[in-house]
Amino acid sequence: MSSRESEIAHEFLPFFRAYKDGRVERFFGSDRVPATIDSQDGVSSKDVTIVPETGVSARIFIPRSAQPSQKLPLVVYFQGGGFFMGSPFCSEYHNYVTCLVSKANVIAVSVDYRLAPEHLVPIAYEDSWAALKWVASHSSGDGPEAWLTDYADFQRAFLVGNSAGGNIVHDMAVQAVTEDLNGLKFDDPRINPAVDSRLSRLGCRRVLIFLAEKDNLRERGMFYCETLESSGWDGELMIVETEGEDHAFQLFNPNSEKALALMDKLSTFINKDKHVSM
């Protein structure tokens, strides 16, 4: 290894280290769990390329119960990680979305957007929007991915994200008001802190926000809630705070009592309108 290859350009420990030769060494979310066929949770998954030119891709999850005669709610998931780490393929997010699909009985598309510092913001938003438009292109039954055209109910679509992914969810929900998504209709079950002058036009009718008592971002999350309430947006806002827990606790201790309770609340939120015409 040459001296330039080993020369550090920037460190943001304990998260990543960037070298002057362009390499980035990440210390979270760089492992890759293979897609599965009929896992122990009764969930299958596969990987798809969405934009070959940029490498934007996704992992799609489907429960064993899926039947074309009874289409299931659709979740589009955006992982957290500060825009610089994490992916749908790492163990934490693969396992979390698998659990969500099994518990809520939904189809899920977990989006792999490009990360900083190689790809600076706003690329994460642009990649996420490209992925969301790709998902929406299946709503008429003509898209290339059979798991979506055959099994997903596009009238019951949800955007879900944690941490930075929650910020992406907010941006997607607002952008959907001004740009065409081929008739895709969604509720927004998880948004993290953001302040946006377009809040009153948020493109969904229900929002569920999860906060954790010891999370350093809790106050930002509460500020977002207060701003949304006062913005003039006429949807339904629900806030759930978990006592004694820190940031992203549901990923790092997914089988704890409080993480399971959070999953139950998210599943209930998604399935609230199961028998109601949209």
Cite the active site residues.
163, 215, 247
DSSP 69-91: TB-EEEEEEE--STTTS--TTSH
Cα 276 to Cα 278: distance, rounded to the nearest angstrom:
6
Which H/E stretch holds residue 19?
strand 16-19
Give the residue from 92, 187, 168 showing the smallest Cα distance to 127. Answer: 168
In this structure, what token pair is assigned to residue 112? 């792999």
Q: Are 78 and 128 in contact, with CB atoms under 8 Å apart?
A: yes
Cα 191 to Cα 170: distance, rounded to the nearest angstrom:
6
CB atoms within 10 A of CB 11: 12
DSSP 160-177: EE-THHHHHHHHHHHHHH
Beta-strand pair 186-187/16-19: unpaired
Cα 148 to Cα 77: distance, rounded to the nearest angstrom:
14
